Amino acid sequence: MADRVIGVALDFSPCSKAALRWAIDHVVRTGDHLILVNVQKDVNYDVGEVQLWEATGSPLIPLSDLSEPGIIKKYGVKPDAETLDIITTAARQKEIVIVMKIYWGDPREKIIEAVDKIPLSSLVIGSRGLGKIKRVLLGSVSNYVVNSSSCPVTVVKSSEHEA
């Protein structure tokens, strides 16, 4: 196992891709393991072996498998072309191992579970930059993770503004 295991919370939104790019540019170095932590709020997969992983999350999915069409059906996750390009380029240029781990449930709880169970050396997470009222009503995943994590957490603010 690498000396450092860096996690990035990734839901394929623009702000999580910004966090992924930031982590690759500023945190990840040669020899690291980069774990993409994805949390699906809804369980929408075929009945079968995935039910075994509902409580513990998926096995670690290697980068080479992430572009396979069967991944979408098996785990209910579809990495987009831009994300695949970012991580494929990073793996090649920085000589790092990249894997994805998928969880199902509340993103706040599952990201903390990933930090503790994998375990992660540090975590990078995006922030949508919700206003104060939206943050109170919706809750902030990044705020919860910062206050609950057992490892250092870096929050990357998205440059895109939501109405």
pLDDT in tens, 52-99: 677 789 999 999 999 888 887 788 888 899 999 999 999 999 999 999
Q: What percent of the chain has pLDDT over 90?
A: 61
Residue-averaged pLDDT of the chain = 86
* Predicted pLDDT of residue 127: 85
Angle at 150 between CA 148 and CA 156, to 5 degrees: 70
Per the CB < 8 A criterion, the answer to whether 120 and 6 are in contact is yes
Q: What domains can you pick out in the chain, each with its CATH number?
A: 5-157 (3.40.50.620)
Task: For residue 89, give the DSSP letter.
Answer: H
